[in-house]
Structure 1
Amino acid sequence: MEQQNMDFNVSEATRFLEHYKKKKAIAKAGFLEELIKTNNNFNGKSIFDKKLLLENYYSKKAIDLVLADLGYTLDYSSEQKHYDCFGNPQGKTSIIVISKK
């Protein structure tokens, strides 16, 4: 059984995830799914007030909307660009810090 972080409401997040999938809100669903996975990787420790490096890039607007639905705020948002060994762009990921309202 996976250990739950008491700060992050996984059941509420899962409910919103299903709602986003039904509405075909792909960016919101993708971000929330990754946030739930990130929370699970913290093994019961808080994900709040820490820099979280996500696997994918999400727009600040999508992040803000999802966090507002969950009752959290976005304190910091940045992007990390990735390059191959020849210096060619290979994509980017999001770096965020969230807190409770």
Structure 2
Amino acid sequence: MPLVTALASAARTTSSNSGVLPGFGDWSRMRAQLAVTAMLGATPTLDVVIEDTLDGTNWNVIGTFTQATAAAVQAIDITGLFTDRLRVRWTVGGTTPSFTFAVVLYGK
């Protein structure tokens, strides 16, 4: 089973996404891991989802992590059909928030 770093560990202060991650068309299941190693700010929140797309424009949520408010590691399992193109999207909330986190995907 391949291991893919979908999002390398880095400090992030704004909401964004990883951009298109190609090459998942032959996967039928995966385990996605979110590792939050640091956070700063007043009442910071981090929401992270895994999405796929058929056309590169419209994105569909295929996996959702529990909202992060502290440093922790969590994993979710995603099964079923999904497209060849995925991305990680995150939303950062709070007052002057900063989260250091990474996302890895392990699947077949």
More helix by share: 1
Q: Which has the higher contact order (CA 8 A, sep 6+)?
A: 2
- TM-score after normalising by structure 2: 0.30
